[in-house]
Amino acid sequence: MKSPFVNLACAIICAGFYGQVANAEEVHYDVFVTASGTNLVIGGYDDDATVAIVPEGQMRVFGGEVIGSGTTAAFESPNPGEPGFRASTQSSLNNPSIMTPANTYSALAGSTPLTFNFQPITIGSVTRNLYFWDGTGGVDFSPVVSSVVLGLEKKGTGGWTSSINGSSAGIVGGNTIQDTGATGSVHTHFYTSIANNGVAPDQGFYLYSLQLQMTGYASSDPLYFVFGALDPLALAPQFADFAAFEAAHGLAEGWVESNLVAVPEPSSFALAGLGAAGLAGAALRRRMRKQ
């Protein structure tokens, strides 16, 4: 059990960290799932503004953080958990004050499970499910050792945990994200945890991929998640401060967008109905929430 002094120190330092992240990034996104015919389409849902966007190239790169707090325990995403997933009703998809572009996409089928699996990623000649970059030098994701485990946990009634590790190198079965509501809606969050032999992992950036499935639809394109792992009470020496950590996080996500996602022609980066301001392509990461 952590001492009250550690808890208090973490509360103060973490609050400062969350504030810096909030100031650095204007919006944060849940994975937003909608449909075009029988294809699943991925965009982003801004919880703060309660609006959704789908770039023409879709949104394929998302980010988040797992946090330690002065202990040797596994790092975990803070409440309410990351990543989050959203899907909207047809009336919301047709409402231009909620959805961009509006009147374009269809609500998901009602009362149907939305599921996922973990996808392998090939970088150079290596294929694995989980990679790591320590944040130093140029972005250089490498496979993690087999003892490193990344888990996604859905807590509460009907909860589950699905995980990958450093030896995973193929499609790994996941679980049900959520059954859609009668009108096709989804709103849920997972908790991400990362550990090495059950204790704190190295601080830096972890990369993995998910694919979404639903009966009646073609599977989604692979989605990439870049999770920063840090301990605000003992920030790794390669990061001078939280701003340096966030800058490296942005570089990692940009690398994934440039090297792993098929980049469309420049003109297709524009969002229907939106100017280019604020959205330089589809690598828009979900900002950590304040606790």
> Which strands make up the sheet holding 186-189, listed edge to edge?
99-100, 51-53, 39-46, 30-36, 84-87, 186-189
Q: Residue 61: which pLDDT band, with cuts at 50, 70 and 90?
A: very high
**DSSP 8-state symbol, 106:** B
Averaged pLDDT, 62-83: 90
Q: What gap in Å lies between CA 61 and CA 83, rounded to an integer? A: 12
Query: What separation in angstroms does the CA of 18 have from each of 96, 136, 207, 221, 250?
Result: 31, 22, 21, 31, 16
pLDDT at residue 105 tops 60 = yes
What pLDDT was estimated at residue 90? 98
pLDDT at residue 108 tops 90 = yes
What pLDDT was estimated at residue 148? 98
34: alpha, beta or left, given left = phi > 0 and alpha = psi -120 to 50?
beta
Q: Which two tokens stand for residue 190?
A: 């997972």
- Which of residues 284 and 148 earns the better pLDDT score? 148
Q: Residue 115: which pLDDT band, with cuts at 50, 70 and 90?
A: very high
Averaged pLDDT, 199-217: 97
What pLDDT was estimated at residue 23? 38
Percent of the chain at pLDDT > 90 equals: 75
Q: What gap in Å lies between CA 187 and CA 65, rounded to an integer? A: 20
Beta strands in 54-103 (DSSP E): 61-67, 73-76, 84-87, 99-100
State the residue for tokens 């009602």: 110
pLDDT at residue 291 tops 50 = no
Cα angle: 55, vertex 129, 196; to 5 degrees:
120
Model pLDDT for residues 248-263, shown as the tens digit of each residue: 999 999 999 999 996 5
State the residue for tokens 């944040």: 135
Q: What gap in Å lies between CA 51 and CA 88, rounded to an integer? A: 10
Q: What does the mean pLDDT of the chain come to? A: 85
Q: What gap in Å lies between CA 262 and CA 117, rounded to an integer? A: 20
Averaged pLDDT, 200-222: 97
Percent of the chain at pLDDT > 70 equals: 79
Averaged pLDDT, 205-229: 98
Averaged pLDDT, 91-98: 98
Query: What separation in angstroms does the CA of 216 have from each of 133, 196, 255, 265?
Result: 37, 38, 33, 30
Model pLDDT for residues 128-173, shown as the tens digit of each residue: 999 999 999 999 999 999 999 999 999 988 899 999 999 999 999 9
pTM score, two decimals?
A: 0.85
Query: 152 forms bridges with which residues in the sheet?
Result: 162, 192
Q: Residue 270: which pLDDT band, with cuts at 50, 70 and 90?
A: very low
Q: What gap in Å lies between CA 111 and CA 87, rounded to an integer? A: 12
Averaged pLDDT, 223-249: 95
Q: What gap in Å lies between CA 207 and CA 166, rounded to an integer? A: 11
Model pLDDT for residues 5-33, shown as the tens digit of each residue: 334 334 434 444 544 443 334 456 999 99
